[in-house]
A and B are shown apart, each in its own frame.
Chain A
Amino acid sequence: MKKSEIALIILAGVAIAAMVSALGGSGKAETFATAFSNPGVDYKINGKLIREEPIIYNPEENAALTVFTMVDSEGGISKVYLNEAKQQGFEQSESINLFGYVEDGKFRGHDMQMKCPSKYNDQKHLIDLQASAN
């Protein structure tokens, strides 16, 4: 066999083995139920902001604490204590990827990504227009 083929096979084998094992250890999107039953373990939770519940951000007291309520992909609802300033446009977010863990019965988030209203999601906007037109 050629040197290059040997190199290829070794490289590919190592890479694939490493990738598969690494994927096994990576987290999957979870629910609040799982997080609360495993306190201290970091999870990624995908869900939406519940706008009817208060969003508390008092930067004068603590500039990096935002408290809000969120519903996860299976309908589980929890208050979240996020260790970040309230992001701009948070109230308009369409979905949230939250990273955090449960401690002392409270969900503490340390990172959050939010999805802003999609530029393409305007068909809904057009349907809403009907209400404003009539």
Chain B
Amino acid sequence: MEYIGENLLPGQIGEFFIALAFSAAIFSMVSYYFSTKEESAASWKKLGRIGFIIHGLSVFMVIGTLFYLFMNHQYEYNYVYKYSSKTMPMKYVFSAFWSGQEGSFLLWSFWHIVLGGLLILKGKNWEKHTMTILALVQVFISSMLLGVYFVDYKFGSNPFILNRELPETILMPWASSESYLSLLFADGRGLNPLLQNYWMTIHPPTLFLGFASTVVPFAFAIAGLWKRDYSGWIKPALPWTFFSVMILGTGILMGGAWAYESLTFGGFWAWDPVENASLVPWIILVAGAHIMLINKHKPKSLFSAFLFIILSFIFILYSTFLTRSGILGESSVHSFVESGILPQLLIYLLFFVGMAVAMLHKDVLERKIYSWASFLIFVLGIGLYLLDTDAVRFEYAPAAFVVLFLLLSAVYTVKAYTKHYRTDEDEPLVSREFWMFIGGLVLFISALQITIWTSIPVFNHVASPFQSIYANIANLTGWEWAASLAEGKLSIGSDVVNIYNRWQIPFTVLITLFIGTTQFMKYGKNDGGKWFKAVSLSLIISAAITAFFLFVWGFEDSTYPSNYVLLFTSIFAVVANADYLIRVLKGNIRKGGSPIAHVGFGLLIFGALVSQSQQDIISTTKSTDITGLGGGINSKEDQLMYKGDTLTMGNYMTTYTGYDSDGRNAYYHIDYYSQVANSFQKDDIAYRLIQNLPVFFIAKQDHTSSPTFIEDMETHWYPLPAPTETQLDRAKKWRGFNPGEKEFTLSPRIQINETFGNAPEPDTKHYGNEDLFTFLKFAQIDKLKTDSLGFLPMKETKMLLGDTLKLTEGLLIVDSLRPMGEEKAIFGFLSSDIVLKTYMHFTSEEKDTLLTSRFLVRGNQAVGEEITLVKEGFKATIKLIQPKDGTAEITLEHAEKSENYRDFIVMRAVKFPQINILWIGCLIMILGTIIAIIERIRTNRIGRKTT
């Protein structure tokens, strides 16, 4: 039937090009594969290139079509509907494009195509093999976009599917109504406000280029194994590998910068599973890249080079599996739950594991045995799963067979090592190769720790068929982890940041130490004494700098003693590499890529360590605990600020001046002033609020105040228990400081979005040596709802006799209760009525008023008399009186008028010292890596010319 307003042609064009892209990728792969055999290699290669070009152009067409749909607000398309809306500014259309699964796969494909193009141009005699691998990868990724059904199972997810074509909606009544479009989808759902910023425009493309770029070193490694040229692949692959290190690292760091700038957890790394999943391949890639360097001239640890480069790509696939499949489920509050894609991602991952392990074997027979065994496992796993019925349960077959396959792969990997790669040659102890290798190992263990902890939900899932076995183990041994696994409830615990830091800080200590020591080692044998002499200068300087920092800052850290060691080793990494650049390389920047990059890394670690461990929360509030819970709940770190009040915060005086909102964002303005000590003259009257009641003091003499009242109380103040009327008029709240010059204004904001929830975003003052990071914990955004008389919604508070209720204009105190006796008759009450007369009083700076309210209980009905304070805009009614703890508890329902309501916010302010060093370190590290890449390309080119 014809649906009014639908524009179906672009979708159909898009779907056509997806199919074409998929087919062309297969064609390209097959052609390139045949080109690696000798017969008519040249023409096969040409076909491979043509296929890849067609594939590339098709993907570009798909991307273009999807952009067209976004720009033209075609909300009949589900993807456009989900991620954009008419009110979304078009500059965020890029963010919208890659917010979703399909869009991010397209972005990934895009980069693969660009890299493929470069490989075709520059790959020389490696092109045929590497492009076969790349085309194969593209077959897998293109399949993620197909959205075709094979019997019951859906392959991939089509970005051009219409809202009415989804499995959940296809049977809905509106899906067969021809005018559904204008009724239901006139506007899109809109992009999550947290993604409507420039970071979402630049971070994903950079990060996805990082992901995509790991395929090139992997392709070279497999090509090396395929061509049986076991070390020749390293030199051409090195620039690509370091490019991947650089760009993936940049993408990851951008994510951290984004988190720091826009999110309010006050950091740049949360050890969230999604973050960890991208960091792990990077760490392994760094290890692999360094091991490739060792093997550049003399292949000594080829196996490790292969293993790490292969693993870096495998972990990219694993990371995409973790984040997209939904397997992290409830354990990560950031997991992106996608339906149905888990099996495809898993097969994608396991296929390349299998291919890599097979290729590691030089013996064709072994390859065949392993491949067939793996294939058998695969078929059995799927077959048994499909046979799963209520009678014979096989639903856990896939999990079991995945484990079986991984075990087989591990065995075959070790087998390949021992059979083909093991050499008896041993490197000297003091040599660059040995320590770079050890460094690579430490990096690998660090990555392993992160990935194992992050994958715990996967363990729970995979262990599910074996729960009874784990229960038995737990019973026998009392091991807690077994017990948790038996219930599928293993988890890493509550303090995520500390859990990872406890492991990663010692690893980082080792790495930064090696970064310093190894730079001074040459390849091959080194004279230990000479080396130590070279390094000792850096050691001494670093120790001196460390001691200086400890002394000047009073570096207090009770959480990790290892922080002190890390402080030293990170400084050492910087100093040693700077020394190397100056003394050994004589300041030759062009050849200095490596020391520069390592200086950057050392600074990054130093900046991270100092800013996080020395962070200082300067917002404080003293709050009496009136929750009846006893000690432990006090708001120490969040500051409550009424509009117009000036409060001390750290070494500032701050005033909240109000907020304004443009409908999308509400900005709350806080002025920051310098602090000037307050001064008092003899006989000045000041008061302090103790338990919300003012206590008065009179100054003994002229003096300048100390920061806290306690310091001055003995020497400068007499208590004044009964101030006179005139004294009360003169009384001012005691303050240690007065505001001086206004230094700046910060406006932390709240992004308003009803669909996704309001999102607070920080505003930060950047100094050279620290950042002041502020954000709102609570603020009133909506216009306060009032009733027809201007009263805000009623609130209910339970009060015991003697309790105080804090109102805007003063305090309401419940004094006593008295049941009415014979006078009931005078007021028209029945003798069977119970009437409780409640005595309260309202007190403020200006007055003290007595109030009474009668509470009537007749039969099983109870009603209270309303009390009002007209000038203060306050009304209250007693709802319930009941005995409690030997006294009476009164439930009071009360409300104030909005005009008396004082606007307030609750905010937090944190100082991060030396955080700029973190960002400077990032930039230097990226710069150094780029210099190294350029130098590597230059060296390779010269090397080729001379051979």
In whole angstroms, how far apart are the Cα atoms of A92 and B452 in the complex?
A: 32
Please tell me if B671 contacts chain A, counting CB pairs below 8 Å: no
Closest chain A residue to B633 by CB distance?
A83
Query: Which residues of chain B are near A115, meaning CB under 8 Å?
Result: 330, 333
For A61, the chain B residues whose CB sits under 8 A away are 623, 626, 806
Contact B441 A65 (CB under 8 A): no
B750 within 8 A of A: yes
Distance A111 CA – B493 CA, assembled complex (angstroms): 12
> Using Cβ atoms and an 8 Å threshold, which residues of chain A touch B639?
63
B623 lies within 8 A of A64 (CB):
yes
Q: Are A95 and B633 in contact (CB under 8 A)?
A: no
Q: Using a CB-CB cutoff of 8 Å, which residues 79-134 of chain A contact chain B?
A: 81, 83-93, 95, 97, 99, 103-104, 106, 108, 111, 113-127, 129-130, 132-134
A11 interface residue per 8 A CB criterion:
yes
Decide yes or no whether A62 CB sits under 8 A from chain B: yes
Contact B333 A59 (CB under 8 A): no
Interface residue? B467 (CB, 8 A):
no
- Distance to closest chain A CB from B295 (angstroms): 13
Q: Is B758 a contact partner of A89 (Cβ separation < 8 A)?
A: yes
Among residues of A, the one whose C-beta sits closest to the C-beta of B437 is: A4
B166→A126 contact, CB < 8 A: yes
B480 to chain A, nearest CB (A): 4
**Residues of B with C-beta under 8 A to A43:** 494
Q: Which of A63, A81, A91 contacts B778 (CB 8 A)?
A: A63
CA distance A91 to B451 in the complex (A): 33
> Do B166 and A59 touch across chains, with their CB atoms under 8 A apart?
no
CB neighbours (8 Å) of B81 from chain A are 122
In the bound complex, residues from chain A placing their C-beta under 8 Å from that of B640 are: 59-60, 63
Using CB atoms, name the residue of chain A closest to B459: A23
- B629 near A125 (CB under 8 angstroms)? no
Asked whether any CB of chain A lies closer than 8 Å to the CB of B760, the reply is yes
Contact residues, B250-294 vs A (CB, 8 A): none
The digit string for B474-496, where 1 denotes a CB below 8 A from any CB of A, is 00000111001001011111110
Is B501 on the interface with A (CB-CB < 8 A)? no
A127-B172, A129-B184 known; A60-B904 Cβ under 8 A: yes
* A28 in contact (CB, < 8 A): yes
A60-76 residues with Cβ-Cβ distance < 8 A to B are 60-65
| Contact of A63 with B635 in the complex, beta carbons under 8 Å | yes
A29 within 8 A of partner (CB): yes
Question: In the complex, what distance in Å separates the CA atom of A15 from the CA atom of B453?
Answer: 13
Q: In this complex, what residue of A is CB-closest to B626?
A: A61
Please state if A108 and B633 are interface contacts (CB–CB under 8 Å). Answer: yes
A33 at the interface (CB under 8 A from B): no
Could you say which of A42, A57, A87 has the most chain B C-beta atoms within 10 Å of its C-beta?
A: A87
In the complex, the answer to whether A62 meets B633 with C-beta atoms within 8 Å is: yes
Please tell me if the beta carbons of A44 and B493 are within 8 angstroms of each other in the complex.
yes
Report the Cα distance A15→B442, complex, angstroms: 10
Contact code string B861-877 (vs A, CB < 8 Å = 1, else 0): 00000000000000000
Query: Which residues of B from 141 to 172 have beta carbons under 8 Å from A?
Result: 163, 166, 168-169, 172
Find chain B residues with CB under 8 A from A122 CB.
78, 81-82, 189
A114–B757 Cα gap in the complex (Å)?
A: 12
B824 touches A (CB below 8 Å): no
Residues in chain A near residue B621, CB distance under 8 A: 63
Number of B residues, CB within 8 Å of A = 84
Task: Count contacts on A: residues with CB < 8 A to the other chain.
Answer: 71
Nearest-neighbor residue (CB-CB) of A15 within chain B: B445
A63 contacts B442, CB within 8 Å? no
Secondary structure dominating the interface of A: mixed
Question: Which B residues touch A29, using CB under 8 A?
Answer: 331, 489, 491
Pairwise interchain contact A42-B494, C-beta atoms closer than 8 A: yes
* A17 close to chain B: CB less than 8 A: no
B434 at the binding interface (Cβ < 8 Å) = yes
Contact with A along B622-644 (1 / 0, CB 8 A): 01011101101111111110000
Which one, B338, B452, B495, B750, contacts A19 given CB within 8 A?
B452
**Bound: A88/B438 CA distance, A:** 47
Q: Are B426 and A3 in contact (CB under 8 A)?
A: yes
Q: Is B389 an interface residue (CB 8 A)?
A: no
Chain A, residue nearest B172 (CB): A130
Q: Indicate which residue in A23, A26, A64 contacts B638 across the interface (CB closer than 8 Å).
A: A64
B105 at the interface (CB under 8 A from A): no
Q: Once the chains bind, are A85 and B169 in contact (CB under 8 Å)?
A: no
Residues of A within 8 A of B634 (CB): 62, 64
B448 within 8 A of A: yes
**B residues within 8 A CB of A95?**
330, 333
Q: Is the Cβ of B757 less than 8 Å from the Cβ of A88?
A: yes
Q: How far is the CA of A121 from the CA of B623 in the complex (A)?
A: 40
Find A123's partner among B166, B427, B479, B637 (CB 8 Å cutoff).
B166
Query: In the assembled complex, which residues on chain B have CB atoms less than 8 Å from the CB atom of A57?
Result: 778
Contact A88–B183 (Cβ < 8 Å) = no
Distance A81 CA – B628 CA, assembled complex (angstroms): 11
Among B101, B336, B484, B757, point to the contact of A92 (Cβ < 8 A).
B757
Closest to B183 in A: A133
Q: Which residues of B sit under 8 angstroms from A116, Cβ to Cβ?
A: 333, 756-757
Q: Which of B425, B755, B904, B906 contacts A85 (CB 8 A)?
A: B906
Residues of B within 8 A of A58 (CB): 795
Distance A103 CA – B632 CA, assembled complex (angstroms): 10
| Contacting residue for B759 out of A11, A88, A90, A93, CB 8 A | A88
Answer whether residue B777 sits at the interface, using C-beta atoms and an 8 A cutoff: yes
Q: Across the interface, which residues of A come within 8 angstroms of B623, CB to CB?
A: 61-64
CB-CB under 8 A for A15 and B437, given A3-B426, A27-B494, A118-B337:
no
A2→B777 contact, CB < 8 A: no
Contacts of A8 in B (CB 8 A): 441
Give A117 to B754 CA distance when docked, in angstroms: 11
**Is the beta-carbon distance between A20 and B172 smaller than 8 angstroms?**
no
Query: Per-residue CB proximity of A42-59 to B under 8 Å, as 1/0?
Result: 111010000000000111
Which residue of A60, A63, A114 is within 8 Å of B333 (Cβ)? A114
CA distance A117 to B904 in the complex (A): 28
Mask for B488-517, Cβ within 8 A of A = 1, else 0?
011111110001000000000000000000
B844 to chain A, nearest CB (A): 16
Q: How far is the CA of A34 from the CA of B224 in the complex (A)?
A: 56
Question: Is B320 in the interface zone, CB < 8 Å from A?
Answer: no
CB neighbours of B750 from chain A (8 A): 88
A11 touches B100 (CB 8 A): no
Q: Which residues of A contact B638 (CB under 8 A)?
A: 63-64, 85
Instruction: Name the interface residues of B785-835: CB closer than 8 Å to any CB of A.
Output: 795, 806
**Contact flag A26-B493 (CB < 8 Å), given A11-B442, A85-B777:** yes
A99/B906 contact (C-beta < 8 A), A89-B757, A130-B173 known: no
When distances are taken between beta carbons in the complex, the residues of chain A under 8 Å from B192 are 119
> How close is B177's CB to chain A, nearest CB, in angstroms?
8
List which B398-451 residues lie within 8 A (CB) of chain A: 423-427, 429, 434, 437-438, 441-442, 445, 448-449
Interface centre among B337, B456, B626, B633 (most CB of A within 10 A): B633
Cβ-closest chain B residue relative to A96: B333
Contact B777 A89 (CB under 8 A): no
Neighbouring A residues of B914 by C-beta, 8 Å = none
Fill in one digit per residue for B165-201: 1 if any A CB lies within 8 Å of its CB, else 0.
0101100111000001001100001001000000000
Are B778 and A20 in contact, CB atoms less than 8 angstroms apart? no
Question: Does B184 lie within 8 Å of A120, measured CB to CB?
Answer: no
Starting from the known contacts A26-B481, A30-B489, 12 additional A-B residue pairs (CB-CB under 8 Å) come to A11-B442, A42-B494, A44-B493, A61-B623, A61-B626, A61-B806, A63-B635, A65-B627, A88-B760, A119-B82, A120-B338, A126-B172
Binding site for A on B (CB under 8 A): 78, 81-83, 99-101, 163, 166, 168-169, 172-174, 180, 183-184, 189, 192, 301, 330-331, 333, 336-338, 423-427, 429, 434, 437-438, 441-442, 445, 448-449, 452, 456, 479-481, 484, 487, 489-495, 499, 621, 623, 625-627, 629-630, 632-640, 750, 755-760, 777-778, 795, 806, 904, 906
Query: Can you show 7 pairs from A to B with CB atoms below 8 A apart?
Result: A23-B481, A26-B493, A60-B640, A81-B627, A89-B758, A89-B759, A108-B633
The 6 closest A-B pairs by CB, nearest first: A89-B757, A64-B635, A85-B777, A99-B494, A123-B168, A26-B493
